[in-house]
Structure 1
Amino acid sequence: MKKASFFSKIMLFLNMIFSFCLLIACIVPYTSSASLAFIGLGVPLLVGINLLFFLYWLVRRRYYFLLSLSILIYGYMSLGTFIGFNNAGTSVEIEESLSIMSFNSLGFRGKEDEWTSTAGDTIVKFIKKEGPEIVCFQEFDYKKIRSNYFKEYPYKYVDFEFGPNSGRMIQAVYSKYKIVNKGILEFTESSNSAIFVDIKYKKDTLRIYNLHLESLNIRPNNIKKERSDKLFARLRNSFAKQQEQSQIVKNHMISSPFKNIVCGDFNNTQFSNSYFTIKGDLKDSFLEKGSGYGETITFLKFPFRIDMILVDPSLEITSHKNYDIQLSDHEPILATIKIPSE
């Protein structure tokens, strides 16, 4: 056997580091360790790097390619894919399907966070044009909703009470179908929360959760100003809160007498413990019918999918759509669901 060169040894050492990181990332969804949650955010990057190492060693005809190959296979088996392979162009409209949109609207302030922005009017026009039967808003601002907005939705639940501003993020659900029950899931020591509505759809009743898990509160301009140890501690606390909040939602879902549908801003990816906790055996609309990467937010020029629509396994997801309207820091997503007849 030909002796490895110094450069090959360096490459192998780096390969081992990135393979180990991906291995740890595979464990993250199954552990409650908030300290390890960071690495889950980098799964797509780690997969890409390990794929490059695999190709490098394969071209070099060195058996080292087995290292990255084995980790990539294990990662796929434990985490699944983060790319949708469905052809969005061949999606077919199916009768008797229910359309649901989830959208973090950033308080209708516009992407640049300007209170004088006309983004609110544009968002309303966008919703009216797309015509989803149910819309779940996160970071809603009821004070900016005019009387002529959303006339197409006779039923709504807005988690808002007039009075002093509590600083809490507001969630809202607008529906074309009757809401027969509603409630809120309070998150302790947090400005975030989740709400739920029971909607009468034909002969069935569906429970729809609209959630906004703990934000990481990361702003590109502030990262350099904050000490790394304080940043790490703050993010670890946010991850821990996400895990606690996801368990609150999960426990409530278990007691639901109806089929569950979950919409919301998870503030984390599909490789997080909080996502795995809430998802359980639910179907992810993007993984079922989406295409491409499914980006819903961009941070430091990196795309992330942190907004989800999860559906009871007995329901059929007929389509999923990602939008690019740039009216918020998040992009809306839309799923259509077929409810089986009794």
Structure 2
Amino acid sequence: MKLIRFTLTVAHFFIMIFLLGTLLNAYVPPKTFPYLNLLSLAFPVLMILNLLLLIFWAVSRKKRGLVFLLLSLILINPTRRWVNYSEKSTEKPNLKIVTANIHSVQDGYGEIFSYFKSVDADVVLVQEYRTDFNIPGYPYSQMDHKVVAINSKLKIVSQKILVKTEIGGGLLCDIEVNGKIIRFISVYLHPFMFEKTKLTETPEINTYKPKVKYIVGKLIPTFKIHQNEIAEIRKAIDDSPYPVILAGDFNAVPNSYEYYHLGKNLKDTFMEVGNGSGTSFHDYQFPIRIDYIFCSKSIKPVNYQVDRSVKISDHYPVIAEFKID
């Protein structure tokens, strides 16, 4: 039994090191050491293992469990970025937005337009549209080259393309909301471009090691591309004379370099007013939150919802409401 406890202690130590290592993504860029960013992808599994071991130490009445518990308290906010509970806001919203990656839409926009009209948001931000995206009833729209678009019922007073690559994009629109200008930024960071057949058992890839090599080979270069894209988007946020709402598909999970640096000095609306799981991408059998809505500290989030009632693509739409004073 002593050997088992010693082995579990060593395992728990390394699990805790890996979990705490995700905090370094706020400081260490991918071009310096990209492997830290890999830890953010493993965070849910590592945290579940941590919780199971904490229960084991509690049942075993071992003092070492208290040490691991105290270290785990540091990880409360990183965990809340995946699963959260917040009290219902009493504020009355006066701005509603929805963001969605609509990549899997193949047969025109009829169904998706109907969905957005039923949501009745003031501003709609989409990623990976295929042809001109103009929702009926939304008189203002801006698009780049089939990557990101913004449709608005409210007046767009200025716009700018921030990031424009073949498969990544960022779009800025300054929109008049209740007499104030709010800067909306729709983001789609460079995707990882996984071939799904290579993530399952096939004659070509039938062992664990080649799959890991393939996945890491896709992740590391993309992390570095994200660093360049984030620098351009951050400038639009930092230089903004107006409050900012940043939304879209970051192609990155919570506690990653992308999360920390795009969300710097902004509020994660899921953490502010969201409940339950923040998972927004449902194509893999693994909890993945990669769609976000952030806002400036001067903006009050009121409601946040990942709408799992529809499957308009491989992403669930994310809806948020705000109080703009």
TM-score by length of 2: 0.89
Q: Are 1:266 and 2:250 counterparts?
A: yes
In 2, Cα distance between the equivalents of 1:11 and 1:29? Answer: 29
Asked if 1:177 is matched to 2:154, the reply is yes
- The answer to whether the aligner puts 1:186 opposite 2:186 as a matched pair is no
Q: Counterpart in 1 of 2:50?
A: 50
- Alignment gaps of 5+ in structure 1: 110-116, 161-168
1:281 equivalent to 2:265? Answer yes
Q: Deviations 1:258-301 (Å, cap 9, x if unpaired)? A: 11110110111121111111111211111111110111013531
Aligned partners of 2:245 and 2:13: how far apart in 1? 41
Q: Which amino acid aligns with 2:114?
A: K
Q: After superposition, give the CA deviation of every residue in 1:200-252 in whole Å (9 maximum; x if it has no partner).
A: 22321111000101112224422355644353233100111112211211012
CA drift at 1:108: 2.2
Q: Is residue 295–residue 304 contact of structure 1 (8 Å, CA) maintained in 2?
A: yes
1:171–1:69 Cα change, 3 Å: same
Contact 1:183-1:195 at 8 Å conserved across structures = yes
Match of 1:100 in 2: 97
Q: Which amino acid aligns with 1:217?
A: M
1:139 pairs with 2:128: yes
Q: Distance in 1 between matches of 2:136 and 2:284?
A: 38
For the 8 Å contact 1:179–1:198, the answer to whether it is kept is yes
* 1:193 Cα offset (Å): 1.2
What does residue 61 of structure 1 align with?
61
Answer yes or no: is 1:21 the counterpart of 2:18.
yes
2 CA distance for matches of 1:209 and 1:172? 10
Q: Which residue of 2 aligns with 1:334?
A: 319
Structure 2: gaps (5+ residues): none
Contact 1:26-1:79 at 8 Å conserved across structures: no
Confirm whether residue 71 of structure 1 aligns to residue 85 of structure 2: no
CA distance in structure 2 between the partners assigned to 1:173 and 1:50 by the alignment:
41
What is the Cα-based RMSD across aligned positions, in Å? 2.2
Question: TM-score, normalising length from structure 1?
Answer: 0.85
CA distance in 1, matches of 2:59, 2:79: 27
Q: Are the structure 2 counterparts of residues 299 and 11 from structure 1 closer, same or farther at C-alpha, using a change threshold of 3 Å?
A: farther
2: CA distance between counterparts of 1:273 and 1:39? 11
Equivalent positions of 1:219-234 (< 5 A) are 219-223=195-199, 225=204, 227=210, 228-234=212-218
Secondary structure of the residue aligned to 1:295 is coil
Residue 216 (1) aligns with residue 200 (2): no
Q: Kindly tell me the number of residue pairs found equivalent between the two proteins.
A: 313
Name whichever of 219-228 and 151-160 sits farther off: 219-228
Counterpart CA distance in 1 for 2:245 and 2:293 is 7
The worse-fitting range, judged by mean Cα deviation, of 122-131 and 10-19 is 10-19
In the other structure, the counterpart of 1:112 is none
